Structure 1
Amino acid sequence: MSTIYQHVSRRGATIIQYAKLLINLPLRDSKSSFIYRIPTAMSEDVSFGKRVLVEFGGQTREGYVIEIFHDQLDDHIKDILRVLDEEAVINEELLALAEWMADYYSYPIAWVLDLMVPGLLRKQKAEVYVAGIDEKSYQDLAAQGIVLNQALFTHLFRYGEIKKSAAEKLSKQEELEFLIKAGYIIRSGSYQVRRVTDPYLEYTSGPAEYDLEQLKKRAPRQAEALQYIHSRGKASWSDLSAHFSRYVLEALLDKKYIQAVYEGTDFQQTYWQLNHEQEDAIQAINRAVDEQQSRQILLYGVTGSGKTEVYLQSAIHTLQQGKGVLILIPEIALTRQLVEVFSKRISSLAVLHSAMSAGERYLEWMRIKNGEARLVLGPRSAVFAPIENLGLIVLDEEQETSFKQEEMPRYHTREVAAARSTITGAALLMGSATPSIETYYQASKGEMQLLKLNQRIGTVGMPRVSIEDMRVHSKKGGTGLLSTHLKTKIAEKLASRQQVIL
């Protein structure tokens, strides 16, 4: 399904362009797709990976374009109503992952695709109406004596949509209901077309003092925007768009007062002293990254053995090869701690988690998609980050149950990460001091590579552990839940003003 191709009919009839779409419907066949005609005016805009708006069952729904072809099909095939994206929001790799999840978990594939697209891209505004027929059909109806509201349809054909409040000024409610029922217009939520490319706009030399004064008089909004950027050094397009129109920003770009820039992803080669186990583990992981054979590795390391440093140095090696890195963690609470560790050595990384606002997640998602951030860190939902040329996936504390998504559609991050590794060829590194039974069993059987870190970092040794047989305690006349030995040790520590955890 994920193959993109075009073919031309050999018939002598007019060749028309069509799109095959995945629409979010609760269908038994999770891969059911639907064909819609691409209007000539949209032929340059409709492409693989974009979302479009279509009429389905009397309602407007989003669909993902997965194929474009040319042919002559039934004249009754419906038209695409609107293109929702300027650029593709999914690529072939993510579509392949969605197909795998749809098969494995028995979900409609469009449900899975929705997990991969930021919610802000699907944000709806006020209720609007869009035309259910094109201009030619409107003229044909008029020739047959079926006269529809000219003012309403003139507006729809010119602007593509009309707000409900504006439509009610041009037509009575009874007429609108008739037009909806007949399919001549369609009730819809207004989907915002959003930029996927989000550069930073940076202040350059700016205008001379005289020119700045003239700018304040002739174009005060441009002057305000320039001062806004100058006071901050630089600001993102999304941030500026909340205060100034696109025309204001483009005018400043044309005048060379500001320039568009993208942040890099530099990293620093600063290493901690490694022990021989860490060195061996890093070498093995780097080989797996270089081979790009979807190798799975279990890093079985005791607490304090330096697994994070292994992750970090393997990530730097992967970035040096021009590949992307995905670090998955079990809890949002761990995000800040790991970001502090990684950001000291990697200057630009992206973070994705559900505690972020919709706008923050959207901006981070764009940075990843544009290649501005090659390392992504986050809990389970980050497994869908649109990283190109993925080389390494790290699943820290792989045994944690929080990697299971409990809401619909349900999935296990470890399974999805393994599938993404298979699709991309990326190495999958799973780390734990207490691995899950199934993962350790696979490693012990040779189904994945097993690396061990048995030593703690530095001079800190392993704690002494003793097991008390409470049956012996009872035979000696002991009572209660605590053994005599444990009570003695607690008393000793308290006497020396130390703390005890039970």
Structure 2
Amino acid sequence: MFARIALLSAPYSTLTYALPDIFPEEFWQEGLRVAIPLGRGALRAGILMERLEHSDLPDGVTCKEVAWPLETVLLLSEEIRALARDLAIRQGLEPGCVFGHVLPQGLRQVDLRIRWLAADRDFSCTVKQVTKLEPGLRQALAVALCRGEARLVAPGRDAAGEELCVLRVDPPWPVRPQAARQREILDYLHERGQVSRRQLTRDLGAGSAPALRSLLQAGFVALRHAEADEPADELLPPAPRAFELNADQQRALEALRAALETERPASVLLFGVTGSGKTAVYLELIRHCMEQGRSVLLLAPEVALACKLRRDAACVLPHVPLFFYHGYQPPARREEIFRRLATRQEPCLVVGTRSALFLPVPQLGCVILDEEHDSSFKQDESLPYQAKELAWSRIARQRGLLV
């Protein structure tokens, strides 16, 4: 098997690579991020754009292999890939150039570490080192990755601190009486509940590591990856008093609801002077869209306006799952939001600036551009695009509503 891989860094080419057979064929999905060799041993990040049965290279040309996958759970949905392809065609660019500018920084790098905790070893290496492993170990590592026994850890992340040890058996413990270390670990987890692997080895000593590996192999203890907690928001203002829409607002809301419920894409302009209550209409439309089981993107031209919209939404819709995204957030935070949305199934509200258009929002039903006349919705530097055109391109595929 071969694949067309889009480079996420200059020269942003789309090149042909062979897919290593140590992974099953179904593992190589379109949209998967991978590490590929380029030049004299350097590894680059790329995206698998298309699988091929045969190489399109001329006879006598050797095709390099993909070095290693950079994820096991697909983060780039077909919707996001189609949006990037459309923009690439409009701008005369390669898809890798689009992804290379819109993906969070951490998703464009290969500096990942592979962690494999097995019964007979506690193995760790970087993606760059995996190509130098002997074939048998590399094969075993690939199998462990597919089974979920190994995982990829981003640089700067505390792998041992994020792996929770979970007890899977009840006393009396099914271990040999002489296995004092194993019994100590089981007693510890029975008393404390799930704790991180780092905390366990810190409390029981480094000598507990071999006993823990034996318990993991036997299935008496399991490792679970701790989900990152959502950072606390800044102090929100008091919730506004309950109010009812006036007649004009109600008519506007009814028209928006009708457009949302059609089975074809729709675009509606909501016009009103400052202070006429457009935000109130937005929020009621968001409530209605969420009740229909569809997500909403609420975008502002500037970060300050986006912060205000986020506060308004959090106050009026306190029970709606809300994500906030903009270009001034730390790279690690933007990557975390991207990953959370990519694996999310339930509808949510995403508030942000124009860059939020490239987020993998699940079941998107409505995009709202507040102050859409503002020139900040048009990006001229780096990767040029008009947010209104992209929003329509995206919502048209979902047969949703652009406001």
The question of a shared fold, defined as TM-score above 0.5 by the shorter chain, is answered with: yes
How far apart are the structure 2 equivalents of 1:255 and 1:376? 37
Distance 1:383 1:242, change over 3 A: farther
Match of 2:71 among 73, 81, 85: 85
Q: Which runs of 5+ in 1 are unaligned?
A: 1-16, 133-152, 161-190, 230-239, 264-269, 430-502
> Which of 337, 356, 370 is the aligned partner of 1:364?
337
3-state SS of paired residue (1:107): coil
Q: Within 5 A, what are the aligned runs for 1:16-415?
A: 17-24=1-8, 33-43=14-24, 44-58=26-40, 59-71=42-54, 76-123=62-109, 125=111, 155=134, 158=137, 218-219=184-185, 226=192, 272-344=243-315, 345-347=317-319, 348-369=321-342, 370-371=344-345, 374-415=348-389
**TM superposition shift of 1:336:** 3.1
Q: Is the 8 A contact 2:88 2:95 kept in 1?
A: yes
Structure 1 CA distance, aligned partners of 2:96 and 2:357?
Answer: 17
Where 2:36 maps in the other structure, the secondary structure is: strand
Deviation at 1:402, TM superposition (A): 2.1
Q: Deviations over 1:268-317 (max 9, x none)?
A: xx963011111111111112221142211111111111111111111111
Q: Provide the C-alpha distance between the structure 1 equivalents of 2:256 and 2:20, rounded to a whole number of angstroms.
A: 50
Measured in 1, the distance between the counterparts of 2:308 and 2:191 equals 36
Give TM-score, length-normalised by structure 1: 0.56
| 8 Å Cα contact 1:326/1:377 also seen in 2 | yes
1-structure distance, mates of 2:396, 2:285: 19
Check whether the contact 2:88–2:94 (CA below 8 A) recurs between aligned residues: yes
Q: Work out whether residues 17 and 65 of structure 2, in 8 Å CA contact, stay in contact via their aligned partners in 1.
A: yes
Q: CA deviation at 1:114?
A: 2.8
Give the conservation status (yes or no) of the 8 Å contact 2:264–2:400. yes
- Could you give the per-residue CA deviations for residues 189-220 of structure 1, whole angstroms, max 9, x where no partner exists? xx96559xxxx999999999999xx9998339
CA distance in 2, matches of 1:225, 1:69: 54
Would the aligned equivalents of 2:18 and 2:64 in 1 still touch at CA under 8 Å?
A: yes
Deviation at 1:319, TM superposition (A): 1.3
Shift of 1:128: 7.9
**1: CA distance between counterparts of 2:297 and 2:198?**
31
> How far is 1:34 from its partner?
2.5
- Aligned-residue offset at 1:222: 7.0
Q: In structure 1, what is the Cα distance between the partners aligned to 2:8 and 2:224?
A: 42
Q: Give the Cα–Cα distance (whole angstroms) in 2 for the partners of residues 427 and 69 of structure 1.
A: 36
Paired with 1:62 and 1:258, the residues of 2 have a C-alpha distance of 27
Deviation string 1:391-418 (CA, Å, 9 cap, x unpaired) is: 1000001122222334311222222212
SS at match of 2:333: helix
The letter of the residue matching 2:254 is Q
Larger Rg: 1
SS in 2 for 1:21: strand
> d(CA) in 2 for partners of 1:25 and 1:262?
28
- Measure, in 2, the Cα distance between the counterparts of 1:100 and 1:91: 14
Query: Is the 1:351–1:377 Cα contact (8 Å) retained in structure 2?
Result: yes
Change (3 A) 1:284 1:86: same
Q: Does the 8 Å contact 1:84/1:193 carry over to 2?
A: no
CA distance in 1, matches of 2:224, 2:108: 31
Q: CA 1:128 to 1:328, structure 2 compared with 1: closer, same or farther past 3 Å? A: closer
**Do the aligned partners of 2:43 and 2:128 also contact (CA within 8 Å) in 1?**
no
Report the TM-score, using the length of structure 2 for normalisation.
0.68
Query: For residue 467 of structure 1, what is the aligned residue in structure 2?
Result: none
Q: What is the CA distance between 1:121 and its match in structure 2?
A: 2.7
1:68 deviates by 1.9
Rounded Cα–Cα distance in structure 1 between residues aligned with 2:225 and 2:20: 36
* SS at structure 1 position matched to 2:65: coil
Distance in 2, matches of 1:400 and 1:254, equals: 59
Deviation at 1:79, TM superposition (A): 1.3
The amino acid across from 1:158 in the alignment is: L
Question: Any conservation in 1 of the 2:3–2:51 contact (CA below 8 Å)?
Answer: yes
* Cα deviation code 1:469-499 (max 9, x no counterpart): xxxxxxxxxxxxxxxxxxxxxxxxxxxxxxx
What is the CA–CA distance in structure 1 between the aligned matches of 2:226 and 2:127, rounded to whole Å?
Answer: 35
Aligned residue pairs total 336
Note closer, same or farther for the CA distance 1:209–1:333 as it changes in structure 2 (3 Å cut): farther
Q: Which residue of 1 aligns with 2:391?
A: 417
The answer (yes or no) to whether the contact 1:123–1:192 under 8 Å persists in 2 is no
Partner of 2:204: none
Q: 1:382-438: CA deviations, max 9, x gaps? A: 111101221100000112222233431122222221221223222110xxxxxxxxx
1:220-257 CA distances to partner (integer Å, 9 max, x unpaired)?
Answer: 9975995786xxxxxxxxxx699789989x96x96599
Deviation at 1:101, TM superposition (A): 1.0
Secondary structure of residue in 2 paired with 1:356: coil
User: 1:131·1:157 contact (CA, 8 Å) conserved in 2?
Assistant: no
Contact 1:115 1:384 in 2 (8 A): no
Q: Any idea what SS the aligned residue of 1:89 has? A: coil
SS in 1 for 2:255: helix
Contact 1:19–1:66, Cα closer than 8 Å, also in 2: yes
Secondary structure at 1:333 match in 2: helix
Query: What SS class does the counterpart of residue 335 from structure 1 fall into?
Result: helix
